[in-house]
Amino acid sequence: MHRASISITAIALAKNRVYFYVQPPLNAATGDNSVMTTKTKIISLFVLIALSCSWTRVIAQESRVEMQAGRCSAIFFMLNETHKENPTWQPIFQEFIGVFENLYVNEKKERTGSGTVDEGTQRRNAVLQEFKDTYTSRVATLKEEVVLCGAWAEGYRIQGRDYVYVPIIPKLIPAAIRTTYEAFAESGWKKWMSP
């Protein structure tokens, strides 16, 4: 008895879109693949449904910008709360809580079709709880995350008061920015984690 096999190829052609190409099995006697049996059609349909469901879960994950914006909103919330005595920087920290929360919501809307300020606040609160739960095992990582968010915020600040574009998440961070935000991270995390 000959078992038919189906060849399926998934091709990612565009952002958040995956197209499947189903190659029907060859007829063993004639070498023809133009005729599919009912059984093969049903199997093909179920395989396509299963694949599309698994790809939907992958696509449904947060984008890098969305994820980092949620984390930076939480970072600036922590900096704002722990540096209230700094009249120069505290308003900047306050501003970037909202900038990154709005970016998170906009990215989520683009990905899912909906996103609210409440969801941005919930995401920020979840990240803040994660920071509290994992701080002792990730001190250096969280310090570096403050530096990354600070450098990203500086990409906005160089545009002036009206932001024209979303700057890219920085990969290289200038020494002056690193020094400034490392100092904020060290003092901020100590205050944030103290009872």
Q: What's this model's pTM, rounded to 2 decimal places?
A: 0.69
Identify whether residues 129 and 109 lie together within a single domain. yes
Residue 1 lies inside a defined structural domain of this protein: no
Residue 162 lies inside a defined structural domain of this protein: yes
Q: Who wins on pLDDT, 28 or 179?
A: 179
Identify whether residues 170 and 105 lie together within a single domain. yes
Identify whether residues 51 and 130 lie together within a single domain. no
Identify whether residues 161 and 176 lie together within a single domain. yes
pLDDT at 15: 44
Identify whether residues 89 and 180 lie together within a single domain. yes
Q: How many C-beta atoms lie closer than 10 Å to residue 150's C-beta?
A: 26
d(C-alpha 123, C-alpha 128), whole Å = 9
Identify whether residues 55 and 73 lie together within a single domain. no
Identify whether residues 101 and 31 lie together within a single domain. no
Identify whether residues 185 and 98 lie together within a single domain. yes
Dump pLDDT digits (tens) for 1-11. Answer: 444 444 444 44
Residue 2 lies inside a defined structural domain of this protein: no
Residue 84 lies inside a defined structural domain of this protein: yes
Identify whether residues 152 and 69 lie together within a single domain. yes
Dump pLDDT digits (tens) for 130-186. Answer: 999 998 889 999 999 999 999 999 999 999 988 999 999 999 999 999 999 999 999
Q: Who wins on pLDDT, 46 or 154?
A: 154
Dump pLDDT digits (tens) for 55-72. Answer: 444 445 888 999 999 999
Q: Please, are residues 76 and 182 in contact by the beta-carbon 8 Å criterion?
A: no
Dump pLDDT digits (tens) for 103-121. Answer: 999 999 998 888 899 999 9
Q: How many domains does the chain have?
A: 2
For residue 50, pLDDT beyond 70: no
Task: Phi first, then psi: give them for residue 6, nearest 5 degrees.
Answer: -115, 135
Identify whether residues 73 and 43 lie together within a single domain. no
pLDDT at 1: 45
Dump pLDDT digits (tens) for 11-23. Answer: 444 444 544 445 5
Residue 79: domain span: 64-193
pLDDT at 13: 43
Identify whether residues 87 and 165 lie together within a single domain. yes
Identify whether residues 119 and 23 lie together within a single domain. no
